[in-house]
């Protein structure tokens, strides 16, 4: 007996003439992620991707956990493969299936014979294996209408396949099939969620983080790299650009009215991000803004910042409330890191009464007190870039 993984994909089957491209991207991602866990063969058949270890050294547990976080896969089943012999199939059912039935109350068995030369019919195979399951997990009951778990037995040309239940995958479409975008990654809850949501729609991520050292600490910087690594579990490796805003913020304090600090700073951030996006081949920017959540996320505030971008700005969290965003953050594993009490650049020099209904004219009057282009160029010239790889 050996074990393989069966990965089902959903939305990809609707891609028509482009389906092959999406399948190829998904298989490429699986092969790349799988290198960390050993040698595997990845093939596809009938809307299913089959992942098979090439030797006993392959880490099936690690590969299984990774496939659950690969966008494009909607379900993963761990599957035992044995000889096409009823004694071998019965033995495999007794030894392999019980751990997948723990905590379940009802089940049924479905059998399928792709090899019609097999001596038993599909109903006969189902009855035989159902009896074997009940012999080792006697508390279970058969429910053919609404079982908690379905045991599948498939008789194929080269062997018999047994698996019980399917684990939910990440869904979406493969990363890289929708182009590349630059995520404005803070140390908060929202922006990692925004990056995750856009990666789920096939976007390859680059990221930019704005810091204000020494007003922000080294630990705050480390926190953002940790968040980038957690997002990379789903999105793949991310180039993280780090840009200092210290000089810009100090000039803001010296020259501008306090209630405009946040708005003008965000215009600087948008302009800098737009330049980095162009340099990196990104076709869009991504932010974690949620409408009305803070003063800088009102319609007028967003309206005076967006003109600094020459590419679309995606805001996948714009219609979500905080609790909905937190639920996603908990599910993807970024929440506990995000709430660590380390400041970010947006909490430095925060105005007591920020503008919530700014006008373009008012913002430009304040901005023109500064050498805007020179400060943007200076910030970009001092940036650093580091590759943040998937945390397995």
What CATH code is carried by the domain that includes residue 59? 3.30.2130.30
DSSP state of 347: G
Contacts of 186 (CB under 8 A, 6+ apart): 209, 210, 224, 288, 344, 345, 346
Q: For residue 310, how many other CB atoms are within 10 A of its CB?
A: 11
Least confident of 4-18, 36-50, 119-133, 344-358: 344-358
Domain boundary among 113, 135, 168: 168
Do 301 and 212 fall within a single domain? yes
Q: And the tokens for 175?
A: 């990363």
- Of residues 295 and 374, more confidence is placed in 374
The answer to whether the CB of 346 falls within 8 A of the CB of 216 is: no
pLDDT beyond 80 at 343 = no
Task: Identify which of 140, 190, 156, 186 has the alpha carbon closest to the alpha carbon of residue 290.
Answer: 190
The pTM of this model reads: 0.91
Best CA proximity match to 390, nearest among 91, 31, 36: 36
Convert 259-286 into a string of H (helix), E (strand) and C (coil). HHHHHHHHHHHHHHHHHHHHHHCCCCEE
Q: Is pLDDT at 392 greater than 60 in this prediction?
A: no
pLDDT at residue 345 in the model: 59
CATH of the domain at 206: 3.40.50.620
Q: Is residue 193, in this structure, part of any structural domain at all? A: yes
CA dist 183 and 269 (Å) reads: 12
Q: Which residue has the higher pLDDT, 287 or 345?
A: 287
Strands 159-164 and 149-156: antiparallel
pLDDT score for 337: 95
- 219-272: pLDDT as tens digits: 989 999 999 999 999 999 999 999 999 999 999 999 998 888 889 999 999 999
Residue 184 pLDDT > 80, yes or no? yes
* Last-in-domain residue among 145, 168, 191: 168
> Which residue, 136, 168, 200, sits at the end of a domain?
168
Position 174 in a domain: no
Domain span at 233: 180-388
Question: Are residues 153 and 220 part of one domain?
Answer: no
Residues 16 and 74 sit within 8 Å (Cβ to Cβ): no
**Tell me: the pLDDT tens digits for 54-95?**
998 999 999 999 999 999 999 999 999 999 999 999 999 999
Query: Would you state the pLDDT for residue 214?
Result: 87
Partnered with residue 52 across adjacent β-strands are 41
DSSP, collapsed to helix, strand or coil, labels residue 240 as strand
Domain shared by 224 and 277, yes or no? yes
* 321 in the same domain as 184: yes
Same domain, 51 and 158: yes
- For residues 278 and 148, state if they share a domain: no
The DSSP 8-state label assigned to residue 74 in this structure reads -
- pLDDT tens sequence across 21-47: 999 999 999 999 999 999 999 998 778
Q: How many domains does the chain have?
A: 2
Q: Round the average pLDDT of the chain to a whole number and report it.
A: 93
Residues with Cβ within 8 Å of 198's Cβ and at least 6 positions away in sequence, in order, are 181, 183, 205, 286, 314, 316
Is 15 found in the same domain as 155?
yes
Q: How confident is the model at residue 299 (pLDDT cuts 50, 70, 90)?
A: very high
Residue pair 98/138 in contact (Cβ under 8 Å)? The answer is no
pLDDT band at 390 (very low <50, low <70, confident <90, very high): confident
Query: Are 71 and 185 within one domain?
Result: no
Task: Say if residue 150 is in the same domain as residue 287.
Answer: no
Task: Give the per-residue pLDDT at 346.
Answer: 61
Residues 276 and 369 in one domain: yes
pLDDT of residue 344: 66
Question: Is residue 68, in this structure, part of any structural domain at all?
Answer: yes
Query: Is 299 within a domain?
Result: yes
Question: Among 23-27, 44-48, 182-186, 369-373, which stretch is predicted with the lowest mean pLDDT?
Answer: 44-48
186 and 162 share one domain: no
Interior angle at CA 128, CA 122 and CA 132, nearest 5: 140
**Domain presence at residue 173:** no
Q: Are residues 235 and 381 in the same domain?
A: yes
Q: Which of 104-118, 249-263, 288-302, 313-327 has the highest mean pLDDT?
A: 313-327
Considering the domain boundaries, does residue 175 fall inside one? Answer: no
Average pLDDT over residues 104-129: 94
């Amino acid at each position: 007996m050996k074990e393989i993984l069966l990965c089902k994909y959903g939305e990809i089957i609707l891609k028509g003439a482009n389906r092959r491209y999406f399948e190829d991207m998904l298989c490429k991602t699986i092969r790349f992620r799988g290198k960390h866990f050993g040698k595997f063969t990845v093939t596809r058949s009938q809307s299913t991707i089959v992942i098979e270890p090439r030797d006993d050294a392959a880490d099936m547990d690690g590969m299984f956990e990774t496939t659950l976080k690969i966008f494009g896969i909607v379900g993963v089943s761990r599957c035992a493969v044995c000889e096409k012999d009823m004694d071998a199939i019965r033995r495999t059912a007794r030894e392999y299936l019980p751990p997948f039935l723990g905590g379940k109350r009802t089940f049924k068995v479905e059998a399928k014979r792709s090899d019609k030369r097999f001596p038993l019919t599909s109903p006969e195979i189902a009855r035989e294996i159902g009896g074997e399951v009940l012999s080792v997990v006697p508390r279970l009951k058969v429910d053919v209408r609404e079982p908690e778990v379905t045991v599948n037995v498939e008789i194929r040309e080269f062997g018999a396949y047994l698996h019980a239940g399917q684990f939910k995958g990440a869904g979406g479409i493969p990363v890289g099939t929708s182009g590349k975008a630059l995520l404005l990654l803070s140390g908060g809850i929202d922006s990692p969620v925004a990056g995750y949501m856009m990666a789920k729609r096939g976007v390859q991520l680059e990221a930019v983080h704005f810091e204000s050292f020494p007003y922000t600490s080294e630990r705050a910087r480390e926190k953002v790299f940790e968040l980038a690594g957690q997002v990379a579990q789903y999105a793949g490796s991310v180039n993280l650009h780090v840009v200092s805003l210290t000089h810009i913020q100090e000039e803001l304090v010296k020259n501008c009215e306090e209630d405009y600090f946040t708005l003008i700073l965000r215009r600087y951030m948008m302009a800098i991000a737009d330049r980095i996006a162009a340099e990196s081949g990104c076709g869009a920017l991504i932010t974690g803004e949620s409408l009305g959540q803070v003063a800088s996320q009102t319609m007028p505030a967003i309206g005076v910042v967006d003109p600094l971008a020459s590419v679309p700005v995606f805001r996948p969290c714009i219609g979500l409330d905080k609790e909905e965003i937190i639920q996603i953050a908990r599910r993807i594993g970024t929440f506990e890191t995000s709430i660590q009490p380390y400041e970010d650049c947006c909490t430095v020099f925060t105005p007591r009464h920020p503008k919530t209904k700014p006008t373009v004219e008012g913002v430009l009057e304040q901005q023109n007190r500064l050498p805007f282009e020179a400060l943007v160029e200076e910030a970009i010239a001092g940036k650093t870039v580091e590759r943040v790889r998937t945390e397995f």
